[in-house]
Every structure is written in C-alpha cells, then in structure tokens.
Amino acid sequence: MTDKLVRQVLAQVDGPDPRVNEIVSALVAHLHAFVAEVRPTEAEWRAGLAFLAETGRWCTPDRDEFVLLSDMLGLTSAVDEVNHAGPENMTPSSVEGPFHSPAPAREPGAWLSHGPERGRGVPMVVHGRVLDCDGVPLPGAAVDLWQAGDNGLYDSQDDAQEPGNLRGLFTTDEQGRYWFRTIRPSSYPVPADGTAGRLLRASGRHPMRPAHLHYQVTAPGHRPLTTHVFLAGDPYLGSDAAFAVKEELVRRPVPRTGGWGMDRPYEEIEFDVRLVPIGWAG
C-alpha cells in the first residue's frame, strides 16, 4: 500500500469551507493510516460498516448510541479537554452523557426526588456557590441538575419515574448560592444492550459508571460549564466506562443530623463552581 491513493483522495477535497476541508483531509489521512497499520480483511471492513449502521438503528429521541459509543472510546472526554482550557482554579468540565433533557424549575432547597426512591434512598443535601475565577459570586446563574436514581436509572429509562424526576433547574441568589435536596446516586451500568455494550464486552471492559450528579451551569458573560460531582469511595472511580472522572470533581459526603430542614440523618456535599469569563485567553 502506497501514499498514492491517499494523495488522490486528498486532491479532491476542495470544498468552500476551509475548516471542513481540514477535517475531512485529516480524517482521510488517519483512516488510511489505520488501514495500513491494521490491514483489516474485507470481512472485517464490512463488519465495521455494519457496526456503524447498527449503531444508528439503536438511536432514539431518548438515547443516542453514537454519543454512548463516543463516551466508551474516550473520544467525548478528549474533545472536552481540547475545548475547555482555562485558568487553574476553574471548575473542570466533564462529559454531558446521553441522558440530559429539560429540567423543571425548582425553588432553592427543593427536592429533586419525587418518586418512591425518596423514601428508600440515602438523603443528601448539596449546596455551594457559583463564582467567577476571582471568587466573585454570580447571582442569577442557572444550575441545571440531573442524576440517576438509586436503581441506576434515569427518568427516561424507568417507567416507574415521572418525567422530570431527579432533575431540577435552580437559580443562584444574591451571594451566588444554590442548594437542593436529593437522594444519594448509585453507580450504574451504561446501556449495554446495543453496539456500545457489544464493544465493551469484546474489549473485556465493564460498563460501570461511578456514582455522580450532573451539572450544567450558565451565567451571563461566562462560558457555560457541563460537569459532574463524583462521590469519594465509589469502587469505579478509577475505571469509569466514560473516562470522565477528574480528581477535582470528587467529593466525600459528610454524615449529618439536623439542619437544612431534614428530619432524618442525611449526607452533605458542598460543591462550588467557578466559571471562566467569555473571551479568556490565558
């Protein structure tokens, strides 16, 4: 195999958008290099194309198998890293995952949990502030939250949960503060019945994600942030199937009694968010 074929293909990449030309040219070069290295058989090549076609058939309005596949290959985290450089004290970003959907607006201190899991799960109080990178509070910031239940399922996966359960959209107060009540999330397997799961099994990997809360935080004049809070002590922190864990995002829940309007023992997590101003250049 020579470079002649690659040069022939690249010579025909001449669209009106320079960035598209750059992306397509790099993709062609890397794909041809992959073929030269791996030397797939024709049967393996057809199997790869069929795998991608099947991935598309698994996609629904509530499930994007391509996002899941990207997560499992670490590609989502790689794209996240190259797109979210910032000052050292910023809150690191993390992957969105395939289960975000619009959340109902909730008042400060409201419960995210409105199903049977609220009675059986470990209660949690989560609070913090939204700040800029100089520590100045950001009032009126939107804090969009979602999580899986104690059974490891999101509302879109679980017929026993009402839409919007374990989701909430909060607004920070004059001091940039937010707080809410919920139940402790659990570690859970990503959906493994589709092509992403098949790839995990073929690679000898488990499908587990460590327990976490999802955050999307926005404030005028600042870059939007998508991130997680992970729970210290989870057995899957070191082998997250989505490669999304960052040390700065791990928090250890503190056992508490009394306060925050709680009538039974609970766990407390404090998580401040520092946003990067739009236009930050380093």
Query: Following DSSP, what letter does each residue of 2-41 receive, concatenated?
Result: -SHHHHHHHHT---S-HHHHHHHHHHHHHHHHHHHHH---
Q: Which fold, 77-275? A: Protocatechuate 3,4-Dioxygenase, subunit A (2.60.130)
Neighbours of 139 (CB within 10 A): 13
Q: In the predicted model, what is the mean pLDDT of the chain?
A: 95
Tell me which residue has tokens 């493994």.
Answer: 192
Strand 225-231 versus strand 212-218 pairing type: antiparallel
CA separation for the pair 182, 203 (Å, rounded): 35
Q: Are the beta carbons of 137 and 176 closer than 8 angstroms?
A: yes
Q: Going residue by residue through the chain (282 aa), what tens digit of pLDDT does each one get?
A: 568 999 999 999 999 999 999 999 999 999 999 999 999 999 999 999 999 999 999 999 878 899 999 999 999 999 999 999 899 999 999 999 888 889 999 999 999 988 777 778 899 999 999 999 999 999 999 999 999 988 888 988 888 888 889 999 999 999 999 999 999 999 999 999 999 999 999 999 999 999 999 999 999 999 999 999 999 999 999 999 999 999 999 999 999 999 999 999 999 999 999 999 998 887
Give the start-to-end residue ranges of the domains of the chain: 4-58, 77-275
pTM summary value: 0.89
